[in-house]
Copies of this chain bind each other. A is one copy, B any other.
């Protein structure tokens, strides 16, 4: 296997960009090509999540080779939802490592700001499970449910969790304020964070990465340069929340990291800094645990204690991350590689002189994740071993599709969604319910009562969507009902109770 090096990188200023998507791609490509000693490439790998719906751009690989004036070379678009940029570098890595090509151009980008927030939310929500979407769930709603579950599992008070998430946001905005290509160029205060509205409880606006335009470019080569891609790993995980065993970590990140560490023949201790997929602040915390930097439940303490600050022992998202650099979905995985390359070259404000960096990118709700390891070429030469052994047989996850659902259950996790997709009015209570048979299902709340994990609920199904009512709430309604009519309601079954309510 050939060693894979980086010959040039480029990135547009992230944020609102008046140019068309092909123009944004060309802008990034030209920066990388200009930086590279040799501007000729043998193939193009291009990552984009959904240019079809964001900008009406189809056949994007052909569009871009044409626009760059390099038709003739093979060009392939790769896509794995919001980790498409990493999928592109992964494909480019394989092409060079295998000896198929000696120099390839890897591009990734997205243009999103021209659409309304609700239209963008709808397109982004298409990556999640259809049944959960049908319920009104969005990416922030599912991320919020994972966060609520994390708080419960690690026994964090609401205010401690809030402090942790706030610390991630403050750190990343501070880092972004020093990155001239970041979308947000100002540090924020705790007050600004706390004043920001809830998108989906417990996640506020400042817990969510913004809507962004941008593209990144990397030239990979088999010739030795100052930065080497020494490990890549990819893995998939269950699509729906309903189909998961674990809610407070992403098995796909763990597996991808294992594969990348094994290829680079290193351990998490050898990593000097990392760019991780903080599309939501809690995901940064979870990722630093999944990557093996901190034990489960300790990633939040690490950020609170300043261990992941830009001048600390293990800087996380020194570029500002998706949170402050911006998140043009398909671009982010490759933008991380661009930022890590610059950091290794000492072109960013990080004071340390790091030898090794890691990037981690998440596709969908942790369904298609990548880990990439980069190192300065001065580092002791390690043989680039692509592990040709078959992957560990994947544990087939349980499908709860055709399971008969009991009429009662308990709340596994929940959120109140304030930024709803088209057709749903806020606030929208959503919960993942585990029924008596153990099956999980996404349901909409019928009232906006105080929800808690492990609360008992009644379930009913209407138009293909499940609805839940908290038991205590139902009892309250019953009592009020009884009082009002001053007689005992003729309750013979739960079904009847529900009828009387209407």
A126 and B59: CB pair below 8 A? yes
CB contacts (< 8 Å) of A91 on chain B: these are 76, 78, 91
Which A residues between 275 and 289 are near B, CB-CB below 8 angstroms?
none
B80 and A75: CB pair below 8 A? yes
Let me know if A158 is at the binding interface, CB within 8 A: no
B72 and A58: CB pair below 8 A? no
Q: In the assembly, how many copies of this chain are there? A: 2
A65 and B386: CB pair below 8 A? no
Let me know if A465 is at the binding interface, CB within 8 A: no
> Could you tell me the distance in whole angstroms from the C-beta of A341 to the nearest C-beta in chain B?
23
Take A40-B390, A99-B98, A386-B100 as given contacts and tell me if A237 and B58 are in contact as well, using a CB distance cutoff of 8 Å.
Answer: no
Let me know if A300 is at the binding interface, CB within 8 A: no
Q: Mark A63-94, 1 if CB is under 8 A from B, else 0.
A: 10110011111111111110000010011001
Take A102-B388, A368-B61, A394-B71 as given contacts and tell me if A238 and B94 are in contact as well, using a CB distance cutoff of 8 Å.
Answer: no
B62 and A364: CB pair below 8 A? yes
A391 and B63: CB pair below 8 A? no
CB contacts (< 8 Å) of A363 on chain B: these are 59, 62
Let me know if A127 is at the binding interface, CB within 8 A: yes
- CA–CA, A395 to B72, complex, Å? 7
B50 and A58: CB pair below 8 A? yes
Let me know if A399 is at the binding interface, CB within 8 A: yes
User: Nearest residue in B to A88 (C-beta to C-beta)?
Assistant: B76
Let me know if A448 is at the binding interface, CB within 8 A: no
Let me know if A13 is at the binding interface, CB within 8 A: no
A66 and B101: CB pair below 8 A? no
Let me know if A483 is at the binding interface, CB within 8 A: no
Interface of A is mostly: loop
Let me know if A236 is at the binding interface, CB within 8 A: yes
Let me know if A484 is at the binding interface, CB within 8 A: no
CB contacts (< 8 Å) of A399 on chain B: these are 69
A1 and B99: CB pair below 8 A? yes
CB contacts (< 8 Å) of A236 on chain B: these are 61-62, 65-66, 71-75
A58 and B394: CB pair below 8 A? no
Let me know if A336 is at the binding interface, CB within 8 A: no
Q: Name A99's contact: one of B42, B251, B388, B394 (CB within 8 Å).
A: B388
CB contacts (< 8 Å) of A40 on chain B: these are 390, 393
Take A87-B76, A95-B94 as given contacts and tell me if A59 and B239 are in contact as well, using a CB distance cutoff of 8 Å.
Answer: yes
- CA–CA, A98 to B95, complex, Å? 8
A368 and B59: CB pair below 8 A? yes
A78 and B77: CB pair below 8 A? yes
- CA–CA, A1 to B1, complex, Å? 10
Let me know if A138 is at the binding interface, CB within 8 A: no
> Could you tell me the distance in whole angstroms from the C-beta of A269 to the nearest C-beta in chain B?
25
Let me know if A354 is at the binding interface, CB within 8 A: no
A76 and B65: CB pair below 8 A? no
Which A residues between 391 and 442 are near B, CB-CB below 8 angstroms?
391-397, 399
A62 and B81: CB pair below 8 A? yes
- CA–CA, A126 to B251, complex, Å? 37
- CA–CA, A390 to B123, complex, Å? 39
A79 and B80: CB pair below 8 A? no
CB contacts (< 8 Å) of A53 on chain B: these are 52-53
Let me know if A97 is at the binding interface, CB within 8 A: yes
> Could you tell me the distance in whole angstroms from the C-beta of A14 to the nearest C-beta in chain B?
22
- CA–CA, A416 to B80, complex, Å? 40
Let me know if A463 is at the binding interface, CB within 8 A: no
B99 and A81: CB pair below 8 A? no
Given contacts A58-B81, A59-B126, A62-B367, 10 further A-B contacts (CB under 8 A): A62-B237, A66-B238, A66-B240, A73-B235, A74-B391, A75-B80, A75-B236, A76-B79, A78-B91, A98-B386
Q: Which residues of A line the B interface, CB within 8 A?
A: 1, 40, 42-43, 49-50, 52-53, 56-63, 65-66, 69-81, 87, 90-91, 94-95, 97-103, 123, 126-128, 234-240, 243, 251-252, 255, 363-364, 367-368, 386, 388, 390-397, 399
A-B contact pairs, 17 of them (CB 8 A): A43-B391, A50-B52, A52-B126, A59-B367, A62-B364, A66-B238, A69-B399, A71-B394, A72-B235, A72-B255, A73-B235, A73-B236, A74-B90, A78-B78, A98-B98, A100-B386, A102-B388
